[in-house]
Amino acid sequence: MSLTEKTDVLVIGSGFGGAIPAYNLAAGGAKVTILERGPELGAADFTQSLEIGGYTRIVDLIQGNGIQVVAGNCVGGSSVVYFAASLRAPSFVFNRRGSTDHRLWPRAISRRTLDPWYDRVEETLPVAHQTWDDVPYAGGLFAAACRNAGHTCNPVPLAVDLDRCTNCNWMLNGCRFDAKRSMLLNYLPAARAHGAEVRPLHEVQLITKALTPGYRYQVDYTVVNPNDYRIPAGVGSIEAKIVIVAAGTMGTPVILRRSAATLGKIPGAVGKYFSPNGDRVSMAVMDERRIRDVLRLEREPGVAYDAFPIGKPIGSMSYDYLNGQLPEFERFGLQQIYFPAITNILPEDGTPGAPDWFGVDKKLLAKKWRSWLTLLALTEDDNEGKWGALPPTGNFIRVASSAVISSLSYHPNAHTLRGFAASDAALRAIVEKDGLGQHLDWTGGQPVLSAHPLASCRMGDDPATSALTADHQLRGHPGLFVTDGSAVPTSLTVNPSLTIAALAERASPGIAAAARAVGISVVGDVPPPGR
Ligand SMILES: Cc1cc2nc3c(=O)[nH]c(=O)nc-3n(C[C@H](O)[C@H](O)[C@H](O)COP(=O)(O)OP(=O)(O)OC[C@H]3O[C@@H](n4cnc5c(N)ncnc54)[C@H](O)[C@@H]3O)c2cc1C
């Protein structure tokens, strides 16, 4: 008999994709263990500073080839550091084909079939609907500029307790006021209340076949040093009857590809078809005088806007280009966003010719920093990303706290570039109408910057281009499920967390059924946390 630890359901990662099935299975009666690579922090631990040792403990800035990705590294995953914009994907997204000849989403999933799961997540987080009084200056300015250009713009629904929110704009660092409704405040405590065990600083390396009869998989992990995640502090293994991989889009394909040697053949789509959710960051430098004269906006007498760092990061969004009648790759959402780390990097200086990263124009641009408006277009990309060589351990090579190098490469093709060009033109028309401001491209060291990685282990009906079946099971590996952003097949034209969460809710009863089939006593129909 093996002396390896045992559990019914082992969950890798504690973000939306991990916490949601962990709750549902624990509440249903299963013994659930969650292994989470990052540390566990709460409101009192979060800092309001960009100094190294603060947010860098819980956020990874991942450098790939052609792309930089931002992701969470802590209990609660990216939900702890995210900006909480909570939107349902439009219906047309589920019919996307990209440059293939077939629908990329499984037939079983449409906006209509996902709506009940969206409902359940919105109730649980919960999601609040901002009025214009809740929207910060930057969001109001973007909305007024949209109206001036003949476009609509709406306040964005947020998973934020608006009564607790102080508009401090430090969401990237974790919320000190417990206003942001991250997994730390709903699914994870509810899972723990049903006996689930969360183990921080446990980095999963490998999944192999279990030796003990009745157990399918063995998961090997390294315990990492809390002060330097590169230093191992121990190793261990757990056998489980069901494994749920939810290490995030940047982690799940790496763990699975490393495990191919021990698990046997894994689907070819693992580690391919990555999507940055079509994220296209750009910047506008606003002319305070024109804002006052044209838009009639004043933050206070004599100050039109001048409010770059004030408020919640995401306030408003135009849905005008989310029109299912438009051709694929020409539909996008346009959003006002604020991203503290972005202020360390500068946009193009707006003058033709090199260098675009230094010089007098750049200095002048920095001087107007408080009048910058950061903008995000959420476009349709063509899933062009793929992983290269496996790192020796973990998901990537960690060179310092928060600074990591991944073998992910992403080079947008002509389809994606068409969407980028169309969204750039739409934003330029809004921002530059009547001389309100100057729309500037991004030059952040990497051409694409994304906080919304998706699709690196995607679901679908076609085994050649998807790794998971419609019930989130890895093809050829019964009892091994993937429920995080990596399962989402395509970019969404809106921020992805609500869709990841709804899919994880939808997957949970099926995982419970698979658990029952291997002798775990668990029900699949449990009330949402807190009800
Ligand atoms: C700064 C920022 C702002 C954002 N703002 C928004 C927004 O406003 N709206 C929105 O919809 N989306 C937003 N997002 C995106 C959203 O947060 C993510 O899409 C979503 O949280 C991803 O959930 P997930 O479960 O797929 O992955 P994650 O939440 O990233 O969870 C993966 C977890 O697995 C852990 N892990 C990774 N590897 C291992 C391993 N080897 N062993 C053990 N554990 C491991 C990670 O530490 C992490 O906790 C934002 C993201 C960021 C970074």
Give the tens place of pLDDT for each residue, 104-154.
999 999 999 999 999 999 999 999 999 999 999 999 999 999 999 999 999
State the total domains in the chain. 2
- Which residue's CA is the closest to the ligand 1 atom numbered 39? 247
Instruction: Supply the pLDDT for residue 341.
Output: 59
Helix (H) or strand (E) segment spanning residue 321 = none
Asked if 15 and 79 sit in the same domain, the reply is: yes
> Does residue 165 form part of some domain?
no
Asked if 92 and 37 sit in the same domain, the reply is: yes
Asked if 113 and 135 sit in the same domain, the reply is: no
Instruction: Supply the pLDDT for residue 501.
Output: 99
Task: Name the one residue in this structure whose structure tokens are 């990591």.
Answer: 404
508 token code pair: 């949970």
The predicted model gives 490-496 an average pLDDT of 98
Asked if 353 and 453 sit in the same domain, the reply is: no
Asked if 402 and 507 sit in the same domain, the reply is: yes
Give which of 300, 243, 258 is closest to 483, Cα–Cα: 243
Instruction: Supply the pLDDT for residue 455.
Output: 98
Instruction: Assign 1 a pLDDT band (cuts: 50, 70, 90).
Output: very low
Instruction: Assign 316 a pLDDT band (cuts: 50, 70, 90).
Output: very high
Instruction: Supply the pLDDT for residue 354.
Output: 76
- Which residue's CA is the closest to the ligand 1 atom numbered 9? 85
Q: Work out which ligand 1 atom sits closest to the CA atom of 76.
A: 49
Q: How far does residue 71's CA lie from ligand 1's centre (Å)?
A: 5
Instruction: Assign 445 a pLDDT band (cuts: 50, 70, 90).
Output: low
Residue 444: pLDDT over 80: no
> Does residue 168 form part of some domain?
no
- Which residue's CA is the closest to the ligand 1 atom numbered 4? 82
Residue 208: pLDDT over 90: yes
Please work out whether the CB of residue 512 comes within 6 Å of at least one atom of ligand 1: no
pLDDT per residue as tens digits for the range 105-118: 999 999 999 999 99
Asked if 363 and 423 sit in the same domain, the reply is: yes
- Which residue's CA is the closest to the ligand 1 atom numbered 16? 497
Asked if 459 and 356 sit in the same domain, the reply is: no
The predicted model gives 59-63 an average pLDDT of 94
> Does residue 169 form part of some domain?
no
Residue 183: pLDDT over 90: yes
- Which residue's CA is the closest to the ligand 1 atom numbered 49? 77
Bridge partners of 404, per DSSP, are 62, 398
* Between 51 and 228, the higher pLDDT residue: 228
Indicate yes or no: pTM above 0.75: yes
What's the chain's average pLDDT? 95
Contact 265, 211 (CB under 8 A): no
> Does residue 215 form part of some domain?
yes
| Residue of 46, 78, 335 best suited for mutating to test ligand 1, as the one with most atoms within 8 Å of CB | 78
What is the number of alpha carbons within 13 Å of residue 312 lying toward its C-beta? 30
DSSP string of 223-251, one letter each residue = EEETTEEEEEEEEEEEEEEEEEE-S-TTT
Asked if 151 and 224 sit in the same domain, the reply is: no
pLDDT per residue as tens digits for the range 374-397: 999 999 999 999 999 999 999 999
* Between 359 and 516, the higher pLDDT residue: 516
Other C-beta atoms closer than 10 Å to the C-beta of 400 total 12
Instruction: Domain of residue 29: give its range.
Output: 1-85+87-124+174-273+384-412+447-531
Instruction: Assign 343 a pLDDT band (cuts: 50, 70, 90).
Output: low
Q: How far does residue 3's CA lie from ligand 1's centre (Å)?
A: 33
The predicted model gives 30-36 an average pLDDT of 98
C-alpha–C-alpha distance, residues 440 and 425, integer Å: 11
350 token code pair: 């707006």
Asked if 303 and 249 sit in the same domain, the reply is: no
Domain final position from 396, 422, 445: 445
Phi and psi, residue 442, nearest 5°: -100, 140
Q: How far does residue 76's CA lie from ligand 1's centre (Å)?
A: 8
Least confident of 134-143, 156-165, 297-306, 459-468: 297-306
> Does residue 10 form part of some domain?
yes
| Residue of 46, 497, 498 best suited for mutating to test ligand 1, as the one with most atoms within 8 Å of CB | 497
Residue 275: pLDDT over 50: yes
CATH number at residue 145: 3.30.410
* Between 308 and 432, the higher pLDDT residue: 432
The predicted model gives 13-17 an average pLDDT of 98
CATH number at residue 99: 3.50.50.60
Asked if 113 and 208 sit in the same domain, the reply is: yes
Please work out whether the CB of residue 222 comes within 6 Å of at least one atom of ligand 1: no
Cβ neighbours of residue 349 under 8 Å, at least 6 residues apart? 356, 357, 359, 361, 362, 365, 440
Asked if 115 and 233 sit in the same domain, the reply is: yes
Instruction: Supply the pLDDT for residue 339.
Output: 77
Q: How far does residue 152's CA lie from ligand 1's centre (Å)?
A: 30
Other C-beta atoms closer than 10 Å to the C-beta of 161 total 17
258 token code pair: 């490393």
> Does residue 167 form part of some domain?
no
Please work out whether the CB of residue 253 comes within 6 Å of at least one atom of ligand 1: no
Residue 353: pLDDT over 80: no
* Between 35 and 354, the higher pLDDT residue: 35
Give CA separation, 266 vs 150, 282, 457, 468, in Å.
50, 38, 11, 10
Percent of the chain with pLDDT over 70: 98
The predicted model gives 10-30 an average pLDDT of 98
Please work out whether the CB of residue 83 comes within 6 Å of at least one atom of ligand 1: yes
> Does residue 166 form part of some domain?
no
Give which of 18, 2, 49, 104 is closest to 484, Cα–Cα: 18
Asked if 317 and 423 sit in the same domain, the reply is: yes
